[in-house]
Amino acid sequence: MFNLFIYVLAQTARKVGIDFHEEKDPRVQKMRKTIAQLGGIQFSIEMDADGNWVAESTNIPGIITGGINPKETARTIKDAIFTYFSIPPHLCD
């Protein structure tokens, strides 16, 4: 919950013009380089009839996530990617 608070606070700060310069952070640079080398991150997503879902990367072992609300799939997958690459929430844009 704390990470979500930091993420929302950082997004609000961006809207008023604060720049966190995430593109200069070595962790972000490494993540972007890895993703570019792979040509993107691919996922297999399985959904149950009741709306539960699970997403697992097919080209980076260890990225797996899921939820109960299909509307949050994209946000939750992005969070799993940032977590995998150890990107702090204020740099997640």
pLDDT at residue 24 in the model: 95
Residue 51 sits at the vertex; the CA angle it makes with 71 and 65, to the nearest 5 degrees, is: 70
pLDDT at residue 66 in the model: 96
Q: Which long-range contacts (CB under 8 A, 24 or more apart) does 23-26 make?
A: 25/87, 25/91
Q: What percent of the chain has pLDDT over 70?
A: 99
Q: Please report which confidence band the pLDDT of residue 5 belongs to, taking 50, 70 and 90 as the band edges.
A: confident
Predicted structure pTM score: 0.85
CA atoms of 53 and 36, how far apart (whole Å): 27
pLDDT at residue 65 in the model: 97
Classify 44 as helix, strand or coil: strand
Within 13 A of 72's CA, how many CA atoms are on the CB side?
12
pLDDT tens-digit map of 57-83: 999 999 999 999 889 999 999 999 999
Q: Please report which confidence band the pLDDT of residue 3 belongs to, taking 50, 70 and 90 as the band edges.
A: confident
Q: Please report which confidence band the pLDDT of residue 51 belongs to, taking 50, 70 and 90 as the band edges.
A: confident
